[in-house]
Structure 1
């Protein structure tokens, strides 16, 4: 492939990889030595840093705004709790749909998340983000549902009787109907077919990789927020995200290398 890396990483990382730059920040870099290419890369690095700072400020403002609602909900105000859930409903559904790939299962997961959140509301610490806390609960609910589904599927397959002694296909196959609703939780996908391929690729990732990738690329969470939500070290977040992106790239390679789609066509939309 002409483009070595296809993922939704930050603009700085994507720019450096796409342009094949080897920027040693310990050396003095001048535009005269590196030309317009380096100048453009440095400008984009600065822009990415500025955007990151702006996003951090937005998150801090959002956390400050939700704190009175959280405190009211912990004091027994049902309307305050409902407002908190309403604000997070769509994001939780997107996350659950990305992990479970079934709208009904995703709705059930959101409902279960709400119930668990209500029961554990007094355990929530105000110095954390309520949204991040909800994400943690939702991810765990989805993982539990996936594992339960795998156990049920194994039992169902083990108990299927032979169709016929003369039949080449001795055991019935489990037919999982694809989601035909057209709903897609992934943001900024300009091409529906590519979006469907990405959904297929997500199904091929492990639970750990899929959850980290969705929290980062769909929900736009920082490494620190993902670390807090999943209760894993930041280094583990970065490692899982790296492998998730590489694995997704590998799973999508047959499509991206075909005549049906060119990753460069979607590069601008997929860059964070």
Structure 2
């Protein structure tokens, strides 16, 4: 799913209005409304959690804990940001807490193709070259690159990993990321720039071998 399509639901006015209506019903004690919000967002929340904790069991725990926090604190939600943004801020914070507590980690089947997209920042190109799998040799290299990306992502500091996950996996805009992480947009852009540079340094052998994708 592209960035535009991923962000479409959250940015569309009717969806935000639907969320606001559900929140108001939850605040009034309607348990069915909470179930509706859970059904709408739990898969996307799981994708964000998996990008941080690297373990399916921990990701499920993080999502469950996040929605418990949502239910407990829904009366504090005032609508100054979208529910979508408020939820992902909670999911990200809970997921990072899991990592800090030494959660078990396993590899995530990270889709390196999402990292080929160009940044909105001028001069910041694709994170890794596009290596096709037109022949067995290239397919093997692509698998090796996927493993290298997983390892590089795991080595990032938590705040750098968070912006990579939100940008490259969840497809959030800079504005959405700033709201979700509760930091200025400039901080988000700076973190993403440095995170990508660290990833590029870790993936230098593959960047140097970009011509392998050409016949």
Is TM (by shorter chain) over 0.5? yes
1:57: how far off? 8.8
| Pairing of 1:18-29 with structure 2 (within 5 A) | none
Does residue 226 in structure 1 map to residue 177 in structure 2?
yes
- SS for the counterpart of 2:29 is coil
Higher helix share: 2
1:130: how far off? 0.9
Does residue 60 in structure 1 map to residue 12 in structure 2?
yes
Point out the structure with max Rg over C-alpha: 1
Does residue 106 in structure 1 map to residue 59 in structure 2?
yes
- SS for the counterpart of 2:78 is coil
Could you list the runs of 5+ residues in structure 1 that have no partner in the other structure? 1-9, 11-50, 151-175, 266-272
Kindly report structure 1 stretches of 4+ aligned residues shifted beyond 2 Å.
Answer: 55-58, 176-179, 183-197, 254-258, 262-265
Aligned to 1:184: 109
- The CA distance in 2 between the partners of 1:75 and 1:187, in whole Å, is 44
Which residue among 159, 165, 168 is the counterpart of 1:208? Answer: 159
> How many residues end up aligned between the 2 structures?
184
Could you list the runs of 5+ residues in structure 2 that have no partner in the other structure? 115-131, 133-141
Which residue among 32, 53, 69 is the counterpart of 1:116? Answer: 69
What are the Cα deviations for residues 195-244 of structure 1, in whole angstroms up to 9, with x where unaligned?
Answer: 33222111011000010111111111111111111111111011001001
Per the normalisation by structure 1, the TM-score is 0.60
Aligned to 1:241: 192
Which residue among 99, 106, 110 is the counterpart of 1:146? Answer: 99
Judge conservation of contact 2:54–2:105 (CA < 8 Å) in 1: no
Judge conservation of contact 2:110–2:149 (CA < 8 Å) in 1: no
Which residue among 113, 131, 134 is the counterpart of 2:87? Answer: 134
What are the Cα deviations for residues 76-116 of structure 1, in whole angstroms up to 9, with x where unaligned?
Answer: 11111111111111111111111111111111111110111
1:187: how far off? 7.5
